[in-house]
Amino acid sequence: MLKHSTRRWLAGLGVAGAFVAASATPAFAADPTIADAQGAEGFSLYANDVIVAPDGPEKWISLYSLVDEPFTDYTVKVDRSAVDGFAEVQTPDSCAGTGAVLTCTVKNDAEPDLDLLSLAVLPRDGAKAGQEGQLAFTVTTPDAGTATYRSTVTVGEGVDLTSEPFVNLAGTPGSTVPAPLSVGNQGKTDAEDAVLFFFGSYALAPAKRYENCEYFEDNFGEYAYACTLDATVAAGGSAKLDDSFGFAVPSDAWAPNTDYGFAIWMTPADWQAFRSQVPDFGKSAKGDEGVLKLTPTAPSRTLARAMQQTDVDPTNNETMIQLAVKGNQKADVAANGATLDAQVGATVPVTVGFTNNGPAAINAGGEDGIYTLALVTLPKGTTAVKAPEQCADAEGEFGPDSGKAGAAVYACFVPGVVGSGKKVEFPFSLRVDQPGTLAGKVELFHGGPDETTRKDLNPANDTAKIVVKATGDGGQGGGDGGTLPITGSSTGLIAGIGALLLAAGAGGYVVARRRKTRFVA
At which of 328, 343, 372 does a domain end?
Answer: 328
pLDDT, residue 4, reads: 35
| Same domain (yes/no): 504, 358 | yes
Q: 3-state DSSP call for residue 498?
A: helix
| Same domain (yes/no): 280, 418 | no
Out of 64-68, 97-101, 503-507, which region has the weakest mean confidence (pLDDT)?
503-507
**16 or 409, which is more confident:** 409
| Same domain (yes/no): 223, 293 | yes
| Same domain (yes/no): 339, 277 | no
At which of 306, 328, 350 does a domain end?
Answer: 328
Give the whole-angstrom CA distance, residue 292 versus residue 209: 9
Residue 270 lies in a domain: yes
| Banded model confidence at residue 115, pLDDT cuts 50, 70, 90 | confident
| Same domain (yes/no): 355, 470 | yes
- Compute the chain's Rg from CA coordinates: 27
| Same domain (yes/no): 143, 174 | no
Give the whole-angstrom CA distance, residue 137 versus residue 135: 6
Residue 301 lies in a domain: yes
| Same domain (yes/no): 407, 366 | yes
| Banded model confidence at residue 240, pLDDT cuts 50, 70, 90 | very high
Sign of the torsion angle spanned by Cα atoms 12, 15, 21, 22: positive
Kind plus residue range of the DSSP H or E element containing 23: helix 15-23
pLDDT in tens, 193-225: 999 999 999 999 999 999 999 998 765 557 899
Q: Domain total for the chain?
A: 3
pLDDT, residue 278, reads: 65
At which of 155, 182, 204 does a domain end?
Answer: 155
pTM of the model: 0.78
CATH of the domain at 399: 2.60.40.10
Residue 1 lies in a domain: no
The dihedral region occupied by 363, where left means phi > 0, alpha psi between -120 and 50, and beta the remainder, is left
Angle at 392 between CA 388 and CA 398, to 5 degrees: 115
Residue 26 lies in a domain: no
Residue 338's nearest CA partner among 192, 143, 207, 468 is 468
| Banded model confidence at residue 175, pLDDT cuts 50, 70, 90 | very high
CATH of the domain at 59: 2.60.40
Residue 200 lies in a domain: yes
Residue 495 lies in a domain: yes
| Same domain (yes/no): 298, 433 | no
pLDDT greater than 80 at residue 300: no
Domain that holds residue 282: 158-328
| Same domain (yes/no): 240, 136 | no
